[in-house]
Structure 1
Amino acid sequence: MARLPERPRVWLLSAYRADSHAAWADWLVTTQTHCRWRRLELPGRNFAWRIRGNPLSWLDSLPDETPDLIVATSMVDLATLKGLNPRLARVPTLYYFHENQFAYPVGENQFRSLEPRMVQLYGALAADRPVFNSAFNRDTFLSGVSELLKAMPDAVPEGVSERLAQASAVCPVAIDPLVGMAPGARDPRLVVWNHRWEHDRQPSMFADVMLRLANEGVTFRLALLGKRPRRVPEPLTRLREALPSQIVADGMLPGAAYRDLLAGAGIVVSTSRHEFQGLSVLEAVSAGACPLVPDALCYPEMYPAACRYPAGDAEALVSRLRAWLTGGLPPSVDVSPWYSDRLQPRWKALLQELA
């Protein structure tokens, strides 16, 4: 009787377990059962220390076994980790980019440090297969590497971006689709904001637009969701004070309540200045909400022109929302290519290619 091959031993290294990183890791080990997984994860906080310090955090805690494959997120300082652990040097490695530091916007009181970008560049070079959650993520990383090396004063290697491009692949984070209400039961005037209330999501622009529409007498309701810092953001305060009767939800809802709200929403809006895949919009669209997103970042890969407005153009966003709220919504958008059942075989093929 033929002996069945053993399942490969795979380490999943996630140096920043937060939000999409956590959802992706949980999904991967649950669905890719042909692997024997060993997970090493660090909490999603203290970014500057975490992205540079994870090889130290794991210095004395790596398993004694040598895996058949390593799957590491781009928050992992992979080059240093392999240098400190020579037995891992030749282990095939998939390096997964949820984001890249070359395209991550910097806040008003921040400066762009070289170190996070170098960690990700060295990590991609140390990996066998850099994988990105969107073509936008891949392309901005590769162009960022090219621009960075142009600034390098001397002894610059040739063809680094081209070398990385040849090794790279795109495979998104999967979502489980939400069940939406029948069209007649949906509230076409319920506008959802389900993003972090931070500078890179431009909540001030969203607040300006909604207050402008309210002053024009346009009828709508608001669901103000997503994480917010301890100090209440000024845009959120403005919306609360000016539109208390229009706000039907305010805060992070429990899972079931969140899904129920998205199931009946008409519109989900993004004003983001950075988005590498946009899971919150994807989830809302899977439930039947119409996306209204910038014509930039990852969004052109996902949504038709009718659902995109010129990035940063508040007037265009006001105009499009006004038309939707007074004249009816466009057809729903098919986002099934990002569903779990569609992406599971693609991830399996990537893993089997290396292990």
Structure 2
Amino acid sequence: MSTLIIEAFYGGSHKQLVDLLQEEIEDCVLYTLPAKKWHWRARTSALYFSQNVPVSDNYRILFASSVLNLTELTALRPDLGKLKKVLYFHENQLVYPVQKCQERDFQYGYNQILSCLVADVVVFNSAFNMESFLTSIGKFMKLIPDHRPKNLESIIRPKCQVLYFPIRFPDVSREHDKDPESFFRSLLRLQEAGLSFHVSVLGETFTDVPGIFSEAKKALGSSVLHWGYLPSKDDYFQALCMADVVISTAKHEFFGVAMLEAVYCGCYPLCPKDLVYPEIFPAEYLYSTPEQLFKRLQNFCKRPDIIRKHLYKGEMARFSWAALRGKFRSLLTTEPREDL
């Protein structure tokens, strides 16, 4: 008996999850597409995988992220449609921010709804992700001019569950939706106030990079310790361990792996009092306005000892692979259906 894992966007947290599952769950077979042009992956990956995943009598479970159009795949490959189908949501397109309201935007959310209808189990990485998706279905479907489907939330909800993204925390001694403008604006204000600080801006660079990045890098000058992608996970965690504060200015976040990794490495988190963050972090680590963020950073710059002596008051263990291993094993090692 084997688990077939399909990842249409093999990068970032998507890659991190399926690599972990393949390593930890017995008899996993993994098929992927590179993490580029997610719009096209969402549109066309089902056809690609229908032609490139070999037929096998050994598959019993199909695990895929919601980038994949599961409905198209199972129609093109009826043999895969017979499997227990587990759909994992890293993010959902019903409430994801878009730059422009175009007709094609509807299709991504619609595809995710269809995928939920054909899935046997629908898993979300946070309660915020699940509830924002389910409670938006009704309003979203009203975009259809007539002959609208009904009762979709009540059909899909019983299949749904929350299973936090599992993080394999390190052994340490201590895009438009992320709103980089607000982040750098706060740092430049600190610089103008004559306050001393250093900053590391870590992460992958994709095709479209907001201009604020190059402007801020130049303006911040010698305050920058690290900039860009660190290919070595050890170097990445070492950079986190050197930091005192980790900041999110995200306009949208369904979980936040990087924030939790930084906190595990000893960073004091500052996050918006919105999105998934109140579910993950205690209230003292949340801010409501850019001005609140600036004032807290200003205070930390003047009194760095405050955060260097601070002990994080939240719970980290519930997000660890050690805590979540059993639930994922159960999800992916269920007995095969009797009708196979």
1:166 aligns with 2:142: no
TM-score (norm 1): 0.86
Partner residue of 1:258 out of 236, 242, 246: 236
Is contact 1:11-1:70 (8 Å) kept? yes
Total equivalences in the alignment: 329
Alpha carbons 2:47, 2:76 under 8 Å: kept? no
Could you say which residue in structure 2 is the equivalent of 1:65?
A: 56
1:30-69 alignment runs, 5 A limit: 30-33=23-26, 36-66=27-57, 67-69=59-61
2:3, 2:332 within 8 Å by CA — same for their partners in 1? no
Report the alpha carbon displacement of residue 15 of structure 1 after superposing the two structures with TM: 1.1
The equivalent of 2:299 in structure 1 is 323
Specify the SS of the correspondent of 2:51. coil
Q: 1:293 aligns with which of 271, 276, 279?
A: 271
Amino acid paired to 1:240? K
Matched, 1:249 2:230: no
**CA apart distance, 1:239:** 2.6
Gaps in structure 1 of 5+ consecutive residues: 1-7, 183-197
Please name the residue that 1:11 is paired with.
Answer: 4
Give distance in 1, aligned partners of 2:101 and 2:142.
Answer: 26
Q: Structure 1 pair 315/171, CA: closer, same or farther in 2 (3 Å)?
A: same
Q: Distance in 2 between matches of 1:231 and 1:55?
A: 25
**Aligned residue in 2 for 1:344:** 325
Choose from 221, 239, 243 the match for 2:216: 239
Comparing 221-230 with 314-323, which one deviates more in the overlay?
A: 221-230
Q: Are residues 110 and 272 of structure 1, via their aligned partners in 2, closer, same or farther at CA, if it must alter by over 3 Å?
A: farther
| Counterpart position of 1:194 | none
Partners of 2:208 and 2:176 in 1: CA distance: 14
CA shift for structure 1 position 110: 7.3
Name the structure 1 match of 2:250. 272
Please give the alpha-carbon distance, in whole angstroms, between the structure 2 residues aligned to 1:276 and 1:222: 25
Match for residue 210 of structure 1? Answer: 187
Q: Which amino acid aligns with 2:193?
A: E
Query: More displaced, 230-239 or 17-26?
Result: 230-239
Does the 8 Å contact 1:207/1:238 carry over to 2? no
TM-score by length of 2: 0.90
Residue identity over aligned pairs, in percent, reads 30
d(CA) in 1 for partners of 2:10, 2:83: 23
Structure 1 pair 354/77, CA: closer, same or farther in 2 (3 Å)?
A: farther
Q: Which amino acid aligns with 2:122?
A: P
In structure 2, runs of 5+ residues without a counterpart are none
Deviates more, 1:23-32 or 1:172-181: 172-181
Distance 1:256 1:344 in 2: 23
Amino acid at match of 2:145: P
Give the drift of 1:152: 2.8
Q: 1:232 to 1:148 in 2, by over 3 A?
A: closer
Deviations 1:202-261 (A, max 9, x none): 111111101111212222111122223467643223333332121112222232221111
Contact 1:16 1:50 in 2 (8 A): yes
Amino acid at match of 1:32: I
Q: Select 1:334's aligned residue among 279, 304, 315.
A: 315
SS of aligned partner of 1:10 = strand
Q: What is the root-mean-square deviation of aligned Cα atoms in Å?
A: 2.1
